[in-house]
Structure 1
């Protein structure tokens, strides 16, 4: 079965509905990162109350969230490809907002873990359908910029979750802060239901027919045959492994090793992450709008390669200003790949598989990167604690620059293959 989609109906301009969708979905992405990262600025308070080890913290920050998040993303993406993507995203936002507020009721590590799992269940339904909606709203020449703005929302969410969260925790406590975050998410859910319109699938692409929906197995085989897709996802996983370790344990490192207050630690990590990573994502998206896919990814790979030594020196400098600059540089340079990689993945995917394609990217990037990064750092930190004390955390964080080097190699491999996976018309549009 095929559905008619006349080429004459292809959307070639960006409408006001598209810009409103971008605003709302960027806010959804920001809220997902706020709720996901907010507990990290609370870690020292939570650790003291529940006597948690760094390994347990790593489980909360990584595996307990990302395994559920990654696995549930696939069926929820298939649901979004077959039904209303707007309702899937809105329902997901409402559910995880309730789970965020429920975390305030925690009385033990098990309670915190259950709330974290509930958060993962909700957030699994957010990003893939959101990217699919944006791909249908924005023509090819603006798709990289739209994906970059969307991803920048996540960086701003990290900034809000850590920087603002640090001040809120000191002012009102960690439990009340979680309740406030949950209430804000429910308010955004109402705005989504009122303001977001569902676009027609494939309306921004030069396709005459939308093929019948493939089975999950057929879709996964089609993605596996795209050589650059695998390298893009692997590069993202390695970058995320290092970055998630820094975001999870960065505030604890500043408090424990460098003597920062909780509020100052949140401001340092939050502002650096939000501004530097957000700027990097936007610049990468802008570059992809006028550059060829291959050159765009080469630039992103070079950015990752330069990021590694910057991060190494950031963890070994005694200067607070030097720490700020050396943390900002790798987060800016490393984030150049994010907008283009998701845009290219959406462009090479058939229109009936867009949510699933984004979900597979999320599955690989977060299933490997976000789950393993915090867990490895937490376990190494605990292992080094008897001999190195608090400095064991600094040494454990050295996994991040190593991961960045490996990510640079993967993105370089994707660059050499990307234009073979994009149809010729789409390569020209992406230049």
Structure 2
């Protein structure tokens, strides 16, 4: 084991015996790609007004574009892409996905009607399905477990920078040109970043893997292992309900404030994105640093910290939804961002710690498939559908959000429950793969516990 006197690269990298890229260059490149990834998602939320006017569509259709149209193939293809990444080059999978979704973003700006707009959003989802699981797996081979909280927090900044770029930058570009130019601009940046990844990131040898080639575990066998892990399941649904709550507010909150306070949509969405986004950036970094510190005591603490942050953040966004003025809503967005900014980091750091390297990307993709269905499919679509059903005005949208946001409390409870099983289930997953894949997952740990 290396001492504290070793270099920063040796402290951060999981292994220093092979030629690799600088871990911070890898992280910076993935962060830039992930920012564009999120900006592409949030562009449509910042441009709801002109898109609705252009194509004469209602809230339900907009909710479908935000959720189901994007999520459908994102979920279906996420696992095959991740399994490909587990067997081949994660860098090439990420770069190809980035080029694909960026081209689809440009196609969104070229849409001539609701059908072509929907197909373009579906294609964005196809490309983005190739990023998240391979990216977390890649970073896990560049950073040690006790350093991953900060690394994942920095990567997670993309959610807030991307939100600002999409919700504030998109309307700003539209005001100077038109809404289509916002999609062209973001797509062009993504194309450049996809090619840059191939030049800047080298594929590392996978930690804990002695083989040059990794044989993928059959999907059914993998699913059986994971289903028998309570910590995995609790974290998966905690993450999903947390995303459902937060994304519903993040996508529809600015539109609520526009309708409720009769203000200029560009001004409202830009101000909201800045308040919520900047506080979220700070919250993400603070969470990552605190998570790493607590992880040195025990890896159950990042998961517990996520649960506590989720419960508090849910209270804050409910307060923002019922604020009597936009000024009050902006103030409430600050604690919402600080508290909710980093909760995903604790879950993802714990998940990567639990999973054996052989199944890390595929298991993360299965995890994200369920959480994406709940968060990005159900959340935006259900909020829009409920709003349209209850009146299609500010009051209806506020009530719809009030029904969806409290799922964050359920998320907090599940996250806290997951923390108590982390070490036991980590040992069980590793034993299940090292003994025989068909062996009962929890039999050995249970026997040891006696």
> Is TM > 0.5 for Structure 1 vs Structure 2?
yes
Alignment equivalent of 2:424, drawn from 407, 412, 420: 420
Greater shift, 146-155 or 128-137, is seen at 146-155
Written as runs of structure 1 = structure 2, the 5 A alignment for 1:19-168 is 19-168=24-173
Between the aligned partners of 1:118 and 1:419, the Cα distance in structure 2 is 39
1:363 to 2:369 alignment: yes
Written as runs of structure 1 = structure 2, the 5 A alignment for 1:29-428 is 29-202=34-207, 212-291=215-294, 292-385=298-391, 389-423=393-427
Between the aligned partners of 1:393 and 1:283, the Cα distance in structure 2 is 32
- 1:3 is matched with which residue? none
Between the aligned partners of 1:14 and 1:59, the Cα distance in structure 2 is 42
User: 8 Å contact 2:259–2:394 — kept in the other structure?
Assistant: yes
Between the aligned partners of 1:361 and 1:229, the Cα distance in structure 2 is 8
User: 8 Å contact 1:155–1:274 — kept in the other structure?
Assistant: yes
- The alpha-carbon deviation at position 122 of structure 1 amounts to 0.4
| SS of corresponding position for 1:422 | helix
String of CA shifts for 1:377-428, please: whole Å, max 9, x gaps: 1111111117xx432111111134311111111111112222322349x9xx
Between the aligned partners of 2:275 and 2:90, the Cα distance in structure 1 is 33
Between the aligned partners of 2:267 and 2:100, the Cα distance in structure 1 is 31
- The alpha-carbon deviation at position 189 of structure 1 amounts to 1.5
Query: How many residue pairs align between the two structures?
Result: 410
User: 8 Å contact 1:247–1:269 — kept in the other structure?
Assistant: no
- The alpha-carbon deviation at position 208 of structure 1 amounts to 5.8
TM-score (norm 1): 0.90
String of CA shifts for 1:259-311, please: whole Å, max 9, x gaps: 22222122133223422333333222222212133233323222222223322
| SS of corresponding position for 1:200 | coil
User: 8 Å contact 2:171–2:179 — kept in the other structure?
Assistant: no
Between the aligned partners of 1:412 and 1:344, the Cα distance in structure 2 is 12
Q: Which runs of 5+ in 2 are unaligned?
A: 1-8, 14-20, 431-450
Cα pair distance change 1:346/1:17, threshold 3 Å = same
TM-score (norm 2): 0.86
Between the aligned partners of 1:122 and 1:272, the Cα distance in structure 2 is 30
Between the aligned partners of 2:246 and 2:217, the Cα distance in structure 1 is 34
User: 8 Å contact 2:91–2:201 — kept in the other structure?
Assistant: yes
After superposition, the CA RMSD in angstroms is 2.0
Between the aligned partners of 1:345 and 1:172, the Cα distance in structure 2 is 44
| SS of corresponding position for 1:201 | coil
User: 8 Å contact 2:276–2:336 — kept in the other structure?
Assistant: no
- The alpha-carbon deviation at position 78 of structure 1 amounts to 0.5
| SS of corresponding position for 2:380 | helix
- The alpha-carbon deviation at position 53 of structure 1 amounts to 1.1
| SS of corresponding position for 2:11 | coil
Between the aligned partners of 2:82 and 2:389, the Cα distance in structure 1 is 39
- 1:5 is matched with which residue? none
String of CA shifts for 1:169-201, please: whole Å, max 9, x gaps: 111111111111111111112211111111111
Between the aligned partners of 2:130 and 2:112, the Cα distance in structure 1 is 28
**Structure with larger RCO (C-alpha < 8 A, sep 6+):** 1
User: 8 Å contact 1:254–1:265 — kept in the other structure?
Assistant: yes
Between the aligned partners of 2:337 and 2:229, the Cα distance in structure 1 is 28
- 1:13 is matched with which residue? 11
Q: Which runs of 5+ in 1 are unaligned?
A: 1-10, 427-431
Cα pair distance change 1:340/1:313, threshold 3 Å = closer
String of CA shifts for 1:322-376, please: whole Å, max 9, x gaps: 2112123223323432112111111211111111122112101111111001111
Between the aligned partners of 2:225 and 2:238, the Cα distance in structure 1 is 20
